Every structure is written in structure tokens, then in C-alpha cells.
């Protein structure tokens, strides 16, 4: 595992804050972070949130053959998974030093402390026993993974139910939940781990360190204890020497924290039992429900009774529309408005429009002059509804003599003549 190193400024800031008995999240020296325990739909599925550290534990069982030297005892297996989803420092498929340490500490905390009656897991002596497996998945790493893993594992074991078994001769029958109710495990006590971080060679002490505090600590002390103040396991790492008074003080603090967490687990189990009787269980039910109301009553809505009176009241309360529109914003380019008092939205002023019309007329006159010079058809009038007289080139020679007479011929006002060569 490759941890992201802190800068010198961050390290100095953290150590200075610890000397002044201040922490980044505003906690006191011996305060635990907010802890939440939620159980899934299946038995043995537990989700623990310790601050921003999130852990999920799942318990499963299987019938296997026992050991030859211990034919009446079942098995307890523990597996912790550190995936890159929890932290970029974790590598997939490799057992880091942290992973090995966490697995060993969890086994000492739960299996070596004899918290579960493994002889009750025996089905047929020397032939069939139950193998209980606890898989702990780290979902998010924000420090103190051991405490979160121990809480999730023991809570999942307390919540787990194994199938009932029937024996007839040499046959072993495993009953489904519809046939027989599942049986809980025999748990004597609930050992819980509490971690203590030491700074400045053991001068300063913090409970439940976060990830940044773990990066600058000199040593770590983990004490697993139950609510009866019985120490199940103790382990120190970091290479610092602790005095007897320091260990005793940590054990007293751990006894208080363990009793609080044990009560929290018991309360969570009772709440889950009550929720299952009501038909509500699982992670989705534990989340706060923020329902959306689709239909909202409008005060201006008009009902079918007394329509005329309510309509008259609404019209009287409504404001009169403005006589003229001062400003209009066109959302789409190329769209124009027509109306008296409406600002021109085409981007062309009236003066510019007059200039454009005059320039169009001048261009039209120039085109007509060019057509006359080239011998094209010439229109003598702009009217389109009056008669048009066309002179063809073939009849031009015949009518040369009559041009003088035809020129004196009266042409109706507004008529058109076209000449072609």
C-alpha cells in the first residue's frame, strides 16, 4: 500500500493542533466519531459507518468436515478485503502489510476470545460441522479501520441465523426458512476493538484517529474488550515504548467506549427485529424518506361550484396589462414582432429601410437602361393589368412605312409597348 504523503505544512499544522488539544473535525481528545449501524435484508449483513469510514460485513455458513483432532468443533473464518474503491492507496489482488495486520487482529478479537460457542456448530461428530465465514469489505477509508471492522463483524454475527438441520440415520437434511425458522448463533460476549493513537513519542493521546491523524502518529495501541471489562486482545504497533500508567489509562477509556458501543449494537438489533415484524427491513428502509408530493393545491384554482363569483374575484385581484410593451427580448434570432408601439426586432431602423428602398429603385432604373442599350424589351409602364403591344422583327420591315402614322396613333393612357430586334 502506497500512502499519500502529507506536506510539511500539513504535518506541522496537525501536530500543532494536537498539542493544543484540537482536532480537525472538532472532537475532543477522547471523543468517538458518530457511529451508525444498519442491517441488510438478509440475516448476517451489517453496514457500519464510523464518521466517513464505511464498512460492510457479511456472514455465511457451510457444512464441512471437522478436523480430526477436534471432531466436535466448527470453524470460524475471517476475511478482510481492501479494495481500491475504499482508497486509492489500496491495490487490488495484493496482500499488504495493513491487510495482514487487520486480519490477525480481527481473529484475535473474535476467534481467540471464544466469544462464539464453536461446539454448538457441530451437526454430526466427526462428519459434519458448520463453517462460519465473515467477510468484511472496506467501502471507504477515513482512518480507524480496525474498530469499524470489529463492530461490523460482531454485529453481523449477532444478526446472523443459520438453517436448522435434521438427522435421520446417516442422512443430514438442511431445512429451508419456509419449513423451519433459522437458528441464531450462541454468542457469549461481544468483544470490540478500541484504537488509541500516540504522538510526540507518547506525550499526546487521541481516541479513534482519522486518516490524516494516522499519517502523523508515532504509534497505535488497539485494545479489544467486552462490556464486562475483560481484555480479549491487546496489540501495539509503531515501535514506541508505553508506560504502565498509559496502558491502564487506555484500558479505562476503552471500557467506557466498549459499553457505549455494545448498547448501540443491542439497540440496533432490537430496532431491526421490530422493523422485520412490520415488514420493513434493509438499507433502503433505514435511509430518510423524502417523499415528493405530486399534487399541490393551488389557491387560484376554480372549482365547479360558484364559478362566476370566483372568476370575478380573480379578475378583480389581477393586475391590468400594460398599455405598451417597453422591452421585449427575443429568445430566438430571426423572429420579428408586428404591432403598434413595439420596438423593431429585425435589427433595421426605419431610416435604413427607406434608404434600402431608394437604392432598390435606383438599381432597377440602371437595369432598365442597360436593357435599352442592349436592345432588350423595354417596358413603357409599370402597370401589369393593362394591354401590351409587341412588335416582332418580321413585321418591322412591313410597318416601316406606317411608322409615322402609327406614331400618331393614340395609345391608351398607361399602356405598354415592347420592342424587340
User: What values do phi and psi take at 204, rounded to 5?
Assistant: -115, 150
For 347, the grid coordinates are 435589427
pLDDT the model gives residue 411: 45
Q: Are 147 and 155 in contact (CB under 8 A)?
A: no
Q: 159: Cβ–Cβ under 8 A, 6 or more apart, which residues? A: 39, 43, 44, 45, 46, 59, 269, 272
Q: Are 36 and 49 in contact (CB under 8 A)?
A: yes
pLDDT (tens place) for every residue of the chain, 421 residues total: 455 678 889 899 999 999 888 888 888 889 999 999 999 888 999 999 999 999 999 999 999 999 989 899 999 999 999 888 888 888 877 778 888 999 999 999 998 888 999 999 999 988 899 999 999 999 999 989 999 999 999 999 999 999 998 888 778 888 888 888 899 999 999 999 999 999 988 888 999 999 999 888 888 999 999 999 999 999 888 778 888 899 999 999 999 999 999 999 999 999 999 888 887 766 665 555 544 434 444 444 444 455 567 667 777 776 655 554 444 445 455 555 555 555 555 555 555 555 656 566 677 677 766 655 555 444 444 444 445 555 555 555 555 555 544 444 444 444 444 444 3
Q: Are 195 and 224 in contact (CB under 8 A)?
A: no
pLDDT the model gives residue 402: 54
Q: What is the DSSP letter of 116?
A: B
pLDDT the model gives residue 415: 44
pLDDT the model gives residue 334: 53
pLDDT the model gives residue 379: 47
pLDDT the model gives residue 130: 93
Query: Rounded to an integer, what distance in angstroms lies between the CA atom of residue 141 and that of residue 83?
Result: 10
pLDDT the model gives residue 92: 78
Q: Are 271 and 164 in contact (CB under 8 A)?
A: no
Please enumerate, as own/partner, the contacts of 288-297 that have beta carbons within 8 Å and a separation of 24 or more.
none
Q: What are the CA-CA distances from residue 86 to residues 4, 32, 36, 139, 148 (Å)?
A: 14, 21, 18, 5, 13
pLDDT the model gives residue 350: 53
pTM exceeds 0.85 for this model? no
Q: What are the CA-CA distances from residue 176 to residues 123, 275, 371 (Å)?
A: 16, 22, 104
pLDDT the model gives residue 33: 92
Q: Are strands 75-82 and 128-140 parallel, antiparallel or unpaired?
A: parallel
Amino acid at each position: 500500500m502506497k500512502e499519500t504523503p502529507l506536506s510539511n505544512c500539513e504535518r506541522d499544522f496537525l501536530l500543532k493542533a494536537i498539542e493544543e488539544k484540537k482536532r480537525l473535525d472538532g472532537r475532543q481528545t477522547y471523543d468517538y466519531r458518530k457511529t451508525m449501524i444498519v442491517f441488510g435484508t438478509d440475516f448476517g449483513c451489517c453496514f457500519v459507518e464510523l464518521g466517513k469510514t464505511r464498512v460492510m460485513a457479511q456472514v455465511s455458513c457451510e457444512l464441512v468436515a471437522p478436523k480430526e483432532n477436534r471432531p466436535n468443533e466448527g470453524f470460524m473464518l475471517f476475511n478482510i478485503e481492501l479494495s481500491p474503491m475504499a482508497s486509492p492507496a489500496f491495490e487490488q489482488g495484493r496482500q499488504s502489510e495493513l491487510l495482514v495486520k487487520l486480519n490477525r487482529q480481527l481473529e484475535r478479537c473474535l476467534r481467540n476470545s471464544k466469544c462464539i460457542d464453536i461446539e454448538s456448530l457441530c451437526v454430526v461428530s466427526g462428519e459434519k460441522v458448520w463453517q462460519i465465514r465473515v467477510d468484511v469489505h472496506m467501502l471507504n477509508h477515513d482512518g480507524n479501520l480496525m474498530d469499524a471492522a470489529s463492530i461490523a463483524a460482531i454485529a453481523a454475527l449477532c444478526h446472523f441465523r443459520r438453517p436448522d438441520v435434521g438427522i435421520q440415520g446417516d442422512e443430514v437434511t438442511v431445512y429451508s426458512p419456509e419449513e423451519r425458522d433459522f437458528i441464531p448463533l450462541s454468542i457469549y460476549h461481544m468483544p470490540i476493538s478500541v484504537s488509541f493513537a500516540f504522538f510526540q513519542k507518547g506525550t499526546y493521546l487521541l481516541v479513534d484517529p482519522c486518516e490524516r491523524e494516522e499519517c502523523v502518529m508515532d504509534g497505535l495501541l488497539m485494545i479489544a474488550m467486552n462490556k464486562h471489562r475483560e481484555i480479549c486482545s491487546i496489540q501495539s504497533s509503531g515501535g514506541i515504548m508505553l508506560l504502565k500508567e498509559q496502558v491502564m489509562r487506555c484500558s479505562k477509556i476503552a471500557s467506557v467506549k466498549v459499553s457505549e458501543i455494545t448498547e448501540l449494537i443491542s439497540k440496533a438489533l432490537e430496532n431491526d427485529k421490530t422493523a422485520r415484524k412490520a415488514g420493513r427491513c434493509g438499507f433502503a428502509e433505514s435511509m430518510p424518506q423524502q417523499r415528493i408530493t405530486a399534487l399541490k393545491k393551488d389557491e387560484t384554482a376554480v372549482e365547479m361550484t360558484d364559478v362566476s363569483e370566483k372568476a370575478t374575484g380573480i379578475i378583480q385581484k389581477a393586475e391590468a396589462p400594460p398599455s405598451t410593451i417597453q422591452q421585449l427580448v427575443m429568445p430566438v434570432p430571426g423572429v420579428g414582432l408586428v404591432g403598434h408601439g413595439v420596438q423593431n426586432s429585425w435589427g433595421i431602423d426605419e431610416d435604413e429601410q427607406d434608404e434600402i428602398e431608394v437604392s432598390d429603385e435606383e438599381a432597377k432604373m440602371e437595369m432598365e437602361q442597360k436593357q435599352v442599350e442592349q436592345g432588350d424589351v423595354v417596358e413603357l409602364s409599370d402597370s401589369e393589368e393593362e394591354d401590351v403591344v409587341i412588335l416582332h422583327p418580321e413585321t418591322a420591315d412591313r410597318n416601316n412605312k406606317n411608322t409615322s402614322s402609327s406614331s400618331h396613333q393614340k395609345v391608351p393612357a398607361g399602356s405598354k409597348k415592347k420592342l424587340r430586334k
